[in-house]
Amino acid sequence: MAEAHQAVAFQFTITPEGIDLQLSHQALRQVYLSGLRSWKKRVTRLKNNVITGVYPASPSSWLFVVIAILATMYTRSDPSMGLIAKIQEHLPFFRYKEHCCRTVVSAVLFSTLLWFSLIFTMRLCLKQLLSYHGWMFEQHGKVSNTTKIWAAMVRIFSGRQPLLYSYQGSLPNLPVPAVKDTVKRYLESARPLMSDSEYERMTTLAKEFESSLGNRLQWYLKLKAMWASNYVSDWWEEYVYLRGRGPIMVNSNYYGMDFLYVTPTPIQAARAGNTLHACLLYRRKLNREEIKPSRVPVLNVPLCAAQCERIFNTTRIPGEETDSLIHWQDSEYVAVFHRGRYFRLWLYHAGRMLSPREIEQQIQRIMDNPSPPVPGEAKLGALTAGDRIPWAQARKEFFSSGVNKRSLDCIEKAAFFVTLDDDEQGMRGDDPAGNLDRYAKSLLHGKCYDRWFDKSFTVVVYKNGKNGLSAEHSWADAPIMAHVWEYVMTTDSFQLGYTEEGHCKGDVASSLPPPTRLTWDIPAECQERIERSLAVAQALADDVDFHVLPIQEFGKGAIKKCKISPDAFIQIALQLAYYRNRGTFSLTYEASMTRLFREGRTETVRSCTSESCAFIRALEGGESKEACRHLFRTAAEKHQHLYRMAMTGGGIDRHLFCLYIVSKYLGEESPFLNKVLSETWRLSTSQTPLQQVELFDFVNHPDYTTCGGGFGPVADDGYGVSYIIIGENMINLHISCKHSCPQTDSHKFGADIKKALEDLLELMSPEKPDPSKAELNHSKKSKKDL
C-alpha cells in the first residue's frame, strides 16, 4: 500500500531512548502545495466578491472619486456642501492631529460614501431598466425607439467586462401577478380541454376562489415576495423535487448525449482523460467567474447565474420526509465506478491540475485493477435509484459510522461522479436507429446501479469511447448542465485533441500515486435492501420506451422562411401529432425559463390553446389552405405571446402552485387549487437551447453535431418530448413513454411528429410558380405586345 505511506506526513515511535520522529518530506510538500492552491482559490474568490460587490462600478473607480474630491478641495471649493467639515467634527481618533491630516481623512471618507452612493444609484437604475420587458413583445425585426433608448441605457449602466455573477444584485425580483389575471389566463388555457359543463363548473370554482380565499393567500405571497429574492424557487425546489419520495431515476433526472456521428477516440481511458480534464477547466473558469454571463440574444439582456453555483461538489442527501442538497466549496477528486468497484481519483497533484494524459493513465490503472467487488458493493448504487425512504433509512442505519461512512463521504464530497461502462453505445452497427435508442436509455438509467443518481451529475464513458452524462434535477435546470456539456465536448475535440494512436496528449509525472479503492463492510440485511431498491428501479427502467429521432431533411432555416417562430412551429406540430396519435387534445407542458429575474428557474407554457386546436381541427377537417394558413399564424402568435408572458413573470402555474403551498400552511382547502394541481400533463415538452454556438462549426465540421438530451415521461399514459434545433438544417427529438400503457408508443409518436412537421412545412412554405403556367403567361404577353 504505497499510497497509504505517502499519505502520512510524519510518524513517531516511543522507545526507551525517547521519541523517534520520522518526517516524509514528499508528503509535507504535497500538503503545502495543496494548501497553497486552496489559499489561491480563497484569494481569487475574495477578489471576485469585491469586484461583483461594487459592480457596475470598478474598484479602481474609488481612487478616481477620491482624487477628484481632493483636487476639487485643492481649488478651495467644497463639493460636499459642508459634509466634510461635519465628518471632521466626529473623528475621535484624529481630534488632536493636524488640520491638514483631518481634512484629508474626512475627504477620503466622504469620497468613499459618495462612491458607495453612486454604486447604489447605478445598480438601482440598472435594476429598474432590467424590469422593462416591452422589448420582448415587439414584432420581430422591428425595434421601437423606446427599446433603442432603453438598450442604450442598459449598456451605459452595465459597466465593462462583467464577471459571471456581476448582474446578480441588479436583476429584478420576480413579480407576483394579480389573482384575477392568473385565474383569467388559467380559464382561457383550460377551455379547449373541457366540455361546456366542466368549464362552467371550473369557472364557478375560480370565481369563488378569486373573491374569497385567493386574496388572503395573495397577501401572504406578496409578503414573501418582499422578503425573499424569489417567491417561487425555494418552494419549487423543496416541494417539487426534494420532498418527492419516489425514485428520482427516470422520474426526475435527465441526460445529455455525445456527438451524434463522431467518436473522437475509441480508447475508453483516453476519452475519459480529456472529458474529465475539460470538466476541470470549466470548473476553474467557474471558480474564477471567467464564464461570460448568459444573455438573451439580440439585445444581450443578462440572465440569472445563481444555478451555476452548485454544478460541482454537490450531492442530494436522502431523508425520510424530505431530501436536502449539500454543496462543498471545493473537491480535488472524483468518485469512479468500474465493474462493481468504487475508486477515489485525485485530479490534482503537487498543487496543479492533472493533464489529460495523466488522467488517462490513472483511469487505465482503475481498469487494470483485478480486485473483485466486496459483497454488496457492486449494486450499492441501486439505493440512489429506488424509493427515497428506504435509502434514507439504510443510510442512517448502515452508513453513519465506520468504514462505510468514510467511503460514502468520499462519494458525496466528490466533484462529480464517473462511470466507466463496459457496454458500447452510439449510433452504430447494423441497427443505428435502435442502438441510438438504447444509448439514450443507458444514459437515463444505465443498469440502475452503476450511476450515483444523488450526485449533481455523472459522466459516463463507454467501452468504445462514446460518452454522455446523467444529471440530477433539483439543483438546477437542463440549460445549466447543457452549457457545461457544450464546453466539455468542444474542448475535448477541438482544443485538447488526441494523438494519432488515439491517446491523450501531454506528459505523465512518474510520482503519481494510484487511485484509491474505497472499502465497504455491507451486512446481509443491507444487501437485501439494496436488492429491493434494485427491483423497484429495474421495473421502472424496463418500462421506459425511448426513441431518439434525428431529422436531417429540414431545420430552422426552412422554418424561418415561413416567417414563423421555430419553437412555435414545433410546438404546434407536437399538438397536431398528439391529436393524430390519440384522437384528442391534451394538457401540454412546455418549460420556459424565468432567469430574467433573480434566482429564477422555470415557468410553464400551456401550449395547447384554443387557437392551436382551431387550426388542427381546420387542417384535419379539410378546410382551404388559406384558411389553415391564417389559423396557423394566429396559433403561432398566441404561442409566442404565452411564451413571452411566462418569461416575464406572467405565467399561470408557478403562481397557482405558490398559492396552493400557502393554503396548505394555513390549513385551508381550496377546491379550485386542488383541481388545478391535480391535472395530468400527458404531453411534457422542453427545448434544449444551443447556447454557445460559437464553439461549434457546423459548416467545416458538420459531423461534430450534438444530439442534445432527454428525460423520462411525466405521466404513466403520456409522452415526454425534448428537442434541440441544430444549425439551420437539423432537429433532434428525444421521445419517451411507458411500455405499460397500451396507448403510447415512442416510435409511432416519433413518426407522427415527423409527418406533422412535414405537413406544416408544406402548408406554410411559399408556393413555387408552376413552370407550365409561367410559360403560357409569357406567350400570351408576347402575343399582346405584337
Question: 324, 535, 345: which is closest to 449 by C-alpha?
Answer: 535
Q: Residue 364: is it exposed, middle or buried by C-beta count within 10 angstroms (0-12/13-18/19+)?
A: middle
User: Alpha-carbon distance 387 to 529, whole Å?
Assistant: 11
- Residue 605 to residues 27, 355, 614: CA-CA distances in angstroms? 57, 45, 18
CB count in 10 Å sphere of residue 474: 23
Can you point out the beta strands (E) in 576-711? 588-593, 602-606, 683-687, 709-711
Q: Which contacts qualify for 446-449: CB closer than 8 Å, 24 or more apart?
A: 446/419, 446/421, 446/470, 448/249, 448/381, 448/382, 448/385, 448/534, 448/537, 448/538, 448/541, 449/378, 449/379, 449/380, 449/381, 449/382, 449/385, 449/534, 449/537
- Residue 234 to residues 133, 224, 601, 628, 654: CA-CA distances in angstroms? 24, 11, 10, 44, 12
The three-state secondary structure class of 605 is: strand
Q: Give yes or no for a contact between 198 and 190, defined as CB atoms under 8 angstroms apart.
A: no
DSSP string, 409-469: HHHHTSSSEEEE-SS--SS-SS-HHHHHHHHHHHHHHTTSSSS-TTBSEEEEE-TTS-EEE
Strand partners, 736: 546, 720
Query: Would residue 630 show up in a list of annotated catalytic residues for this protein?
Result: no
Can you point out the beta strands (E) in 8-162? 10-15, 18-23
Angle value at C-alpha 554, between 436 and 758, nearest 5 degrees: 95
Can you point out the beta strands (E) in 155-303? 254-257, 295-296, 301-302
Quote the DSSP letter at residue 371.
Answer: P
User: Alpha-carbon distance 647 to 731, whole Å?
Assistant: 23
Which of 349, 473, 483, 503 is catalytic? The answer is: 473
Q: Give yes or no for a contact between 655 and 236, defined as CB atoms under 8 angstroms apart.
A: no
Composition of the chain by helix, strand, coil, percent to 5 = 50, 15, 35
The three-state secondary structure class of 730 is: strand
Question: 456, 283, 268, 292: which is closest to 353 by C-alpha?
Answer: 283
Q: Dihedral, CA atoms, 481, 486, 490, 491, nearest 10 degrees?
A: -30
Question: 356, 308, 306, 364: which is closest to 338 by C-alpha?
Answer: 364
Residues taking part in catalysis: 473
